[in-house]
Amino acid sequence: MKYIFLVAWREYAENAKTKGFWLGIFLVPIMILGSIQVPIWLAKKGTPVRYYALVDQSETLAPVIEARLERSHQKQVLADINGYVQKHTIPAGKSAALTPPSLDQFISQGGVVSYLKAVQARLKLGAPPFKAPRRDFQPVPLPAGMRADTDLATIVERLRPYLRGDQKLEVGGQWVSLSAAILIPRDIEKQIVRPPDKSADSTAGVTAIQYWSGNLADTKLRDEVEQSVNTEIRRREYLLRGMDAAAIRAVEQTYAPFASLNPKKEAGQEAVNSADIIRQWAPSAFVYLLWVAIFAVVQMLLTNIIEEKSNRIIEVLLSSVTPGELMMGKLFGIAAVGLTMVGSWMLALFGILSWKAGGASDVTSQVLTALQSSNLILMFSVYFLLGYLLYAALILALGSVCNTLKEAQSYMGVITMMMMVPLLTMSFIPKDPNGVLARVLSWIPIYTPFIMMNRAMADPPLFDLIGTLVLLIVATVGALWMAAKVFRIGILRTGQPPKLVEMLRWLKR
Amino acid sequence: MTMNNQHLANDAPLEVQGVTKLFGDFRAVDDVSFSLPAGAIYGFLGPNGAGKTTTIRMILEIIKPTSGSISVLGHSSALAVRQRIGYLPEEKGLYKKMKCWAVIAYFATLKGLSRKAAKQRAFELLERYGLKDFATKPTEALSKGMGQKVQMLASIAHDPEFVILDEPFSGLDPVNQQVMEEIIRDMAKRNRTVLFSTHVMQHAERLCDRILLLAKGRKIFDGTVAEAKRIIPRRVRIETEDDITPLRELKEVVSIRPVDTISGGITAPTVAHWELEVRENTDPQAILQSCFARGIRLHSFNQSDPTLHEVFMRLVGPDAKEAAFR
């Protein structure tokens, strides 16, 4: 036992010094943090303020577009201010809980200023002042010397260098580039397409409203403009045809409440919410982590054995420890490395989620709740350990019969191929977690950890859960027993790797 | 040395009885028996493929003999006394990324030293044998010879009673061969038993109390170096311009043959070199007197013991060649 510990300790200490280990430790938390932070950061900083020029020769649509863009902006402001309030106010008793206003209420009640006043009393001491987000799209007047009432074609020609970025516009003393130009012709009314009127086809290709922009990827402004214009045009159409616009609007907002229910949940709580969807998909992330962890650790094991074998250190070791002790030492040492890695990932995951978690509706906090309320972590630990041991057995046997890393890599390829299956099925399994594919794969021990992890939140039948676990344990013990047999003979062999038949013969010894 | 010597056992360090090892149909070791007295330096000689390494591995219980018995330090299992044995294998290697002292200390802890004692001992040894500057360097920074020294130190860091060294001199420059010899002598002085294999006879000749000669898996010779040399008849070399026919009639002389020497030396071309093979227990002085008596004028008279190399070549020469061409 002492020798096993000594070998294990060296394995642990030496591997903990490698760059790969630390890369592994930090990469996953960085990825987790990144996947939460980057979209937020991108949304805030990534898209600079876009300047657009609006030429409305019909002189009726510009205010509608402006109102729409302002409303979108206020929506963002409201979302931000709600987050701010949630973070920096003292949660009062349930009775006095703040109910965030609807967008219409927010705008009509005076926006940021009055809302902040309303919550002022509740703000924690030392809370930073609220910083309203910038409006993404800012209108700019046409460059000096251009008249909005000239021919549209001329305007386009004059604007072209600005839109290409060759020339800049001056806005409030700053030189900015023009991101888009929206040109609405005077006779827009005539160009409106009405469904029964097939003559519209003849005008196909002729554009009524022109949206000029070099940026094709970001269609947000285009969409906003298009929707606002069409909403306005439809509103006018209702009036034209003598319909009650208000009534129509009311009709448009009628709906039948619809709910997804889960029969497996307790009565009264059957409602499927977004947390449930997170629960269904969270295991996929764990499958991926499991795969990465096992693969990384098993690679480490292979490199170590090959190093000892190709350097012939093995002989000195075997004059001090038995092959069994050496093997167990390696197995445990590397397992400890793996557990350290996985453990730090879990800590980081919880740490980052708790740090980033905002209100109850926040995705981050829902993920956190899903993790805390389930046995995902427990399953992950068990499956990591068993999966590692099973694959380690294969690797130990493989490593012991190969002389160089190159030789081992070619065999490792086969193992890698086998390991790819759970990655490929990872996204199918949650859609049908108790289907035939999932069930069949669950019963193949080398896939059990991944597939069962994948099915974890879908309440797999107890028979599957226990049965596959027992089979996995039996297979792991068997594999380790065989690995030990191969290891004690293979480790001293030099020259050609033995044939499979030969290795099978070793098992009988 | 900080370790006490009190626990040294009186058991013979090694007792090998009729050991045979088969690899398939191949007899790597064939019915070999020998025993080592405590405190001796024992040379394990033989051509390539003689079965030296296989025998050593069996002694260390890395592999099991097909038949026969081995007792190490009074135990039938080397693993039971592994803390009292040191081993330097033929093919040398170290963990590349580990620091020199850490490698030595690791192997020492595997041999039962506490981690603290092992570390202290590692630095001690590295300093004594001139590797102080490399103590905290990774072993991959070492030259081959230095690496070998580090490995040697690793195998004796726990001050074992019985050390087995497989080809300790191979790959070392003359200076470091000297250091290696020094290490071996140091151990013998402290009543440690050393078994080392080599095919460089000079080392064996200088160091060994006894030698064991293996060829094709069989024991060919087992005894002291002096005994080995007695296998080959004694020889006398003479240089003379005169006719040496009268010497052929001497009863002490078995044969006479001319020896080629490189011409252009200090002797004139007319001077011939002769090697006289003489009977055992012949006093070379008697030959010298006979020369005077018969009026043979000598430029030089040289009585020399055969070297171990010659003994080796005589005993295993044909076998060794055969093995090489197989």
- Per residue in A189-202, pLDDT (tens digit) is 777 877 775 555 55
- Strand ranges for A91-154 from DSSP E: 137-140
- Alpha-carbon gap, residue A294 to A507, rounded angstroms: 26
pLDDT score at B3: 43
Check CB contact under 8 Å for A3 and B110: yes
The encoded tokens of residue B145 equal 């010879």
Amino acid present at A72: S
Q: Give yes or no: residues A493 and A347 share one domain.
A: yes
CATH topology of domain B233-305: Alpha-Beta Plaits (3.30.70)
DSSP code at position A497: P
- Decide if A90 is inside a domain: no
- Decide if A85 is inside a domain: no
Check CB contact under 8 Å for B87 and A7: no
B45 neighbors B214 (Cβ within 8 angstroms): yes
Q: Give yes or no: residues A390 and A437 share one domain.
A: yes
Q: What is the mean pLDDT of residues A484-492?
A: 84
Domain map (residue ranges) of chain B: 14-228, 233-305
Q: Give yes or no: residues A208 and A300 share one domain.
A: no
Structurally, how many domains does chain A consist of? 2
A-chain CB neighbours of B107 within 8 Å are: 316, 320
Q: Give yes or no: residues A55 and A29 share one domain.
A: no
Q: Give yes or no: residues A192 and A243 share one domain.
A: yes
B294: Cβ–Cβ under 8 A, 6 or more apart, which residues? B246, B247
Check CB contact under 8 Å for B62 and A318: yes
What residues in chain B have their Cβ under 8 A from chain A's Cβ atoms?
57, 60, 62-63, 78-79, 82, 85, 87-89, 91-98, 106-107, 109-111, 151, 154-155
Q: Give yes or no: residues A287 and A421 share one domain.
A: yes
Interface test with A, best of B21, B55, B61, B62 (most A CBs within 10 A): B62
Q: Give yes or no: residues A315 and A445 share one domain.
A: yes
User: Looking at domain B14-228, what is its CATH homologous superfamily?
Assistant: P-loop containing nucleotide triphosphate hydrolases (3.40.50.300)
- Decide if A160 is inside a domain: yes
Q: Among all residues of chain A, which has the CA nearest to that of B109?
A: A6
- Decide if A78 is inside a domain: no
- Decide if A67 is inside a domain: no
B326 pLDDT more than 50: no
Check CB contact under 8 Å for A319 and B92: no
> Which residue segment(s) compose the domain that A356 sits in?
2-35+274-508
Average model confidence (pLDDT) for chain B? Answer: 82
Q: Give yes or no: residues A344 and A483 share one domain.
A: yes
Check CB contact under 8 Å for A492 and B63: yes
A-chain CB neighbours of B62 within 8 Å are: 315, 318-319, 492
Q: Among all residues of chain B, which has the CA nearest to that of A18?
A: B97
Give the containing element (helix H, strand E) for B214: strand B210-215
Most confident of the following: A102-116, A170-184, A476-490, B266-280:
A476-490
Query: Is the entire prediction scored with pTM above 0.80?
Result: no
B89 neighbors A312 (Cβ within 8 angstroms): yes
Name the residue among B79, B97, B155 with its Cβ closest to that of A316. B155
Look up tokens 């020199």; give the residue: B100
The encoded tokens of residue B246 equal 């009268």
Q: Give yes or no: residues A180 and A311 share one domain.
A: no
Check CB contact under 8 Å for A14 and B57: no
The encoded tokens of residue A316 equal 């000195």
- B155-175, pLDDT tens digit by residue? 889 889 999 998 888 888 888
Q: pLDDT-derived band of residue A374, with 50, 70 and 90 as boundaries?
A: confident
B278 pLDDT more than 70: yes
- Decide if A259 is inside a domain: no
Q: Give yes or no: residues A422 and A325 share one domain.
A: yes
- Decide if A322 is inside a domain: yes
Q: What is the CATH number of the domain that holds A176?
A: 3.40.190.10
Most confident of the following: A273-282, A317-326, A347-356, A468-477:
A468-477
- Decide if A260 is inside a domain: no
